[in-house]
Chain A
């Protein structure tokens, strides 16, 4: 039966809502089971996020990569092997503290900040919280289209991990300091994304949003996410060659690729 994109998205949204309700119910009934790590969680930052469309982008892209995920607005999220936080706007230390615990116990967290569109006051709070919880230093957002240079050439973001690719800018970037982390993307010579081991887990912090590009079917952004998901399996060298999408599904469901991430 043919299904329109709108119909599909509607069903997906409905399924997510149903899924979240089921998870909530299971948590009440089986608290021990609820403590077991889930596969992949996609955290909806809620209507306050200036990058609301980003979560939709990740949802569409994960579906097209055949990767199972649960979309939830739980904050702090439940334990999971992989936690994706698009357009995140955390200004509350306690909410992120739960995430930090999951990192310590081995989760992979993809944290895409939505702070580029913050006002200065909110950004300063966000910056302090990120510093406090993840130990990352953020710099003030940089508008990429204010210089004459940008009019001569589109300001692409150069990713060097997990795949070398160029992704279109999203007007503003949040530069990151490199203390304790490895830069994975630059705008010109400014690092705008990094990965960092925290406990047994890994934090991947994006200062330039990918979600909106995923929503508009940007090929390079999709490749980056696909490579990221594949990298989730790469900790066990013997399984690198098996890291197809379906292997990722098993990994993210917690049924394969038993090694620690990255």
Chain B
């Protein structure tokens, strides 16, 4: 397995180059690029600039593990307004294009968003349709779309059986799950998701979750090994299903001081997870 961390974790005010240096020094193999969340990688970033990003990543001795985005929280693929959905589709297509340019084969997409206004059944149908539309595009580009399980935030696809049914309804081999083991709060067990999703997992996001506390403070999330995830079981499930891909750190809770220290600490925690010394 290989270690990666998002470029959106790079401390504010740091340049991309400084960030890459930190990522490399702290022991990661790759970097996850977040379209729309960092100044250097926006929808307006040109192809030439994207290729320059790849060059910088490779010069730092890293590779791009995957292309993610949070833009679909605003431009949901399941919105009622077709113009919003079109923009959502355009974002995924740009992710696919840039993934190819950056030399990676996976993207992360938040596939649907249930709200008080847009109910579950509508979201389900539109999300399936969107993925059916995009799946062939991704396949042609040699890229896998990983729909992230943002269980609580999306209010969508809350259980692994439901998620499997969703992927079955999409029925596109290029569409799978970008599994975030921290997003399964008090409504399940990450290890069971890993077992059930198996070969459909495109990437794994790592963070820990304080299941019992809920979102009572500024975040329900915490650093790996600090929360309530059963990391022994998670590691065993990875072995069981033969997952040997990227483990991508997504630390939503940031250190208040010495922010670069979080990169080192997280890398060390992932090393122990990979080595099964939990």
Report which A residues bind B (CB closer than 8 A): 4-6, 50-53, 117, 145, 150-151, 154, 168, 170-171, 212-213, 215-218
Contact of B173 with A by CB under 8 A: no
Cβ contact within 8 Å between B121 and A171 = no
Chain A residues whose CB sits within 8 angstroms of the CB of B122 once the complex forms: 212-213, 215-216
Other-chain contact of B124, A168, A171, A216 (Cβ < 8 Å): A216
Contact with A along B67-87 (1 / 0, CB 8 A): 000000000000011110000
**Which 6 A-B residue pairs are closest in the complex by CB-CB distance?**
A216-B121, A216-B122, A145-B117, A50-B82, A171-B80, A216-B125
Cβ contact within 8 Å between B81 and A117 = yes
Chain A residues whose CB sits within 8 angstroms of the CB of B171 once the complex forms: 4, 6
Contact of B245 with A by CB under 8 A: no
Contact of B116 with A by CB under 8 A: yes
Which residue of chain B is the closest to A168 with respect to CB atoms? Answer: B119
Cβ contact within 8 Å between B121 and A217 = yes
A6-B171, A154-B116 are known contacts. Are A218 and B121 too (CB-CB below 8 A)? yes
Chain A residues whose CB sits within 8 angstroms of the CB of B132 once the complex forms: 6
- Beyond A171-B117, A215-B122, 11 additional pairs, beta carbon < 8 A: A5-B169, A6-B132, A50-B82, A53-B126, A117-B82, A145-B116, A154-B116, A168-B119, A171-B80, A212-B80, A216-B122
Cβ contact within 8 Å between B119 and A52 = no
Chain B residues whose CB sits within 8 angstroms of the CB of A50 once the complex forms: 81-83
Chain A residues whose CB sits within 8 angstroms of the CB of B124 once the complex forms: 216
Instruction: Name the residue among B125, B132, B171 with the largest chain A CB count within 10 angstroms.
Output: B125
Chain B residues whose CB sits within 8 angstroms of the CB of A216 once the complex forms: 119, 121-122, 124-125
Cβ contact within 8 Å between A215 and B125 = yes
Chain A residues whose CB sits within 8 angstroms of the CB of B82 once the complex forms: 50-52, 117
Chain A residues whose CB sits within 8 angstroms of the CB of B83 once the complex forms: 50, 117
Task: Tell me, in angstroms, the Cα distance from A4 to B170 when the chains sit together.
Answer: 11
Would you list 12 pairs from A and B whose C-beta atoms are within 8 A, ordered by A residue? A5-B169, A50-B81, A51-B82, A52-B82, A150-B116, A154-B116, A170-B80, A171-B81, A215-B122, A216-B121, A216-B122, A216-B124
Task: Tell me, in angstroms, the Cα distance from A52 to B125 when the chains sit together.
Answer: 13
Task: Tell me, in angstroms, the Cα distance from A74 to B258 when the chains sit together.
Answer: 67
Chain B residues whose CB sits within 8 angstroms of the CB of A154 once the complex forms: 116
A192 to chain B: closest CB distance in Å?
16
Which residue of chain A is the closest to B124 with respect to CB atoms? Answer: A216
> Of residues 101 to 121 in B, which have CB atoms within 8 Å of A's CB atoms?
116-119, 121
Chain A residues whose CB sits within 8 angstroms of the CB of B169 once the complex forms: 5-6
B116 to chain A: closest CB distance in Å?
7
Chain B residues whose CB sits within 8 angstroms of the CB of A168 once the complex forms: 119
A137 to chain B: closest CB distance in Å?
25
Instruction: Name the residue among B83, B117, B122 with the largest chain A CB count within 10 angstroms.
Output: B117
